[in-house]
Amino acid sequence: MRVLVVEDHGETRGMIEAILREAGYTTVPAATLDEARSYLQAGGLAAVILDWMLPDGSGPDLCAERRAAGDSTPILVLTARAGIEDRVVGLDSGADDYLKKPFAAAELLARVRALLRRGPRIVESSVTLGPIEVRAASRLVIAAGREIPLTAREFDILEVLVRHRGRVVTRSNLLIAVWGDDESTGESLDVLLTRLRRKLAEAGAPDTIRTHRGVGYSVGMSP
């Protein structure tokens, strides 16, 4: 699997590449947004590890640009910023996950595996929920004949809920199914659920995902 590593600090980029190569990944290095943009436009990438600050702009700006272009390649943003506000900015830009520097090699690899994990998929080729259609094989969500542009992580969340439609998926089980971790990614789930609901509402399906307070979430259940 080819992983694009976008980091302008040569030593840090080399360290990340070494960790990934040791784990069996093929790495593609980039030091600027322009270089990263070229590789992303060419395609064939399994995931992107993207630094927040680069010489010609910010990682979140590139995330937003690629999502607007319909690119759903999984993106992990790296940053030394510690605040929840920064995490929200990164995730709202379209990133799938966020990892704070400095980080352990084991955690980096765990996050990459989680981005690439797809696990069991929807058995049916297509599932209809009110005005939306979820197509498993192509990882598309359609409303009124038009695609709703979802990131890889947003689709993963919706797919888990669709797979268990008519039942409540606990918050812990949703975190484990999507991230493989039920403790450290709660804020990311909240941000992504908010973004996913907004996109569904804009497509005419505002009540697709229901919250069961203190328990979890569901789709396909009557109020």
pLDDT of residue 121: 38
- CATH of residue 25: 3.40.50.2300
pTM (2 d.p.)? 0.58
Q: At what angle do helices 171-179 and 186-202 cross, to 10 degrees?
A: 90
Query: Is the same domain home to 108 and 134?
Result: no
* Assigned token pair, 176: 């484990």
Residues 91 and 169 in one domain: no
Is residue 57 included in any domain, yes or no? yes
Both 156 and 81 in one domain: the answer is: no
Q: What is the pLDDT of residue 120?
A: 35
**Shared domain check, 109 and 6:** yes
Regarding whether 68 and 22 lie in a shared domain, the answer is yes
Say if residue 142 is in the same domain as residue 108: no
Contact 178, 157 (CB under 8 A): yes
Domain, as residue range, for 66 = 2-116
Do both 112 and 130 map to the same domain? no
Q: What is the pLDDT along the chain (223 residues), one digit of tens a residue?
A: 889 999 999 999 999 999 999 999 999 999 999 999 988 887 778 899 999 889 998 888 898 888 878 777 888 988 886 566 666 666 777 788 888 888 999 999 998 988 886 433 344 467 888 888 988 767 889 988 888 999 888 988 898 888 778 888 888 878 877 776 655 566 788 889 999 999 999 988 888 899 998 889 998 766 5
| Beta-carbon count within 10 A of 119 CB | 11
User: What is residue 123's predicted lDDT score, i.e. its pLDDT?
Assistant: 41
What is the count of structural domains for the chain?
2
**Distance between the two ends of the chain, CA-based, in angstroms?**
43
- Does residue 146 sit in the same domain as residue 107? no
